[in-house]
Amino acid sequence: MGHKTLSIALLLADTPPAAVVAKRGDYKRIYPQWLNHALSSIPRHAWQDTVELDIIPFDVVQQHYPEEGQLKDGIWDAVIVTGSASSAYADVPWTNKLSCWLKHTAYEHPLVRIIGICYGHQIIARALDAPVKLNEHGFELGVYEVELSDEGKEYLGYEHGEGIMRIHQVHRDIVASAPPDFQGQTFENLGSTSRCSVQGLALRYPTDAPPLPSAVSSSDYIAFDISSVEDSSGPAPSRSLHILTLQGHPEFDAEIVETLIDARTEMGLIQGDLRREGLERAKREHDGARIGRAVLAMLGVEAKRTEEGTVGDGGVGV
């Protein structure tokens, strides 16, 4: 058994409202807590590597980014773009730079995995030429049931059961349709709700399990993982993903969402039945940790497997 560290650049696209920060901290705290909780819940064989997450924040609103040389040298295994109250279609300098940076990284550093949450989902879609707009159906607030596509079931670990992902939502902007093909690969829509038809996107590599940049000290594309088969109980389907985005917020829980609804109520954006429904939905069970495990499986942290299948790949809110 060895030890490996996954280096993740957390691109901060916003600071949550003061009330959220006072109760739960900002995104520099919320995202690592979500991923580390998911990591601690992954059952592993004794012979599998122990894993540590090194999550480093970059304030992209202030236009701070990982250095180009570090990306080229394989220092960063993945980037995660956070949520934001801003609109991904806004024509403002920091948003425009983020869009350009993501497109450049996708093309020039193809081994770096790209993950987006809510606004992150939308700005990645914009960067790769998909339409992003205000949703004519209004807000989604609280936990919604996403009907997963076949690809969503496969990549997010919902192959067995009803194929429904329960995830917190706090958004009014949407990705209207998937981006065009990227270097011969097709973007897959992971699922939908009645108010939002594109609830996530996935882009495969041409091969099933390319190495992480840190394993080969490079971000240039290499077709197959050089690790021996004994080092993994996979590969899981998500190991084949270059890009993964979600419209919802797997990193949120009821307290955070309720506080965000209160903040938007004070701003005059939410009222009446919309507020009441959002607060009711916020208390519902959700799949945050389960989705976190799927994200980590994308980065090679896979649950142990038995003859019956993967251990720990089900259960609401666990």
Residue 316 lies in a domain: no
Find the domain containing 43 and state its range: 3-135+150-159+171-252+288-310
CATH at residue 122: 3.40.50.880
Is 0.85 topped by the overall pTM?
A: yes
Residue 166 has pLDDT above 70, yes or no: yes
Full DSSP string of 172-235:
SEEE-SPPPPBTTB-EEE-EE-SS-S--EEEEE-SSS-PPPHHHHT--S--SS--S-GGG-S--
Is 270 inside a domain boundary? no
Condensed to tens digits (0 to 9), the pLDDT of residues 87-140 reads 999 999 999 999 999 999 999 999 999 999 999 999 999 999 999 999 999 999
Mean pLDDT, residues 219-232: 68
Q: How far, in Å, CA of 119 to CA of 100, rounded?
A: 15
* Domain annotation covers residue 277: no
Question: What are the tens digits of pLDDT across the range 302-313?
Answer: 888 754 555 555
Q: Is position 93 within any domain?
A: yes
pLDDT band for position 44 (50/70/90)? confident
**Predicted pLDDT of residue 317:** 45
Position 278 in a domain: no
Over residues 4-14, the mean pLDDT reads 98
Q: Are 126 and 84 in contact (CB under 8 A)?
A: no
Residue 258 lies in a domain: no
Predicted confidence at residue 180, as pLDDT, reads 99
Residue 292 lies in a domain: yes
232 pLDDT above the threshold of 70? no
Q: Is residue 272 assigned to a domain?
A: no
Domains in the chain, number: 1
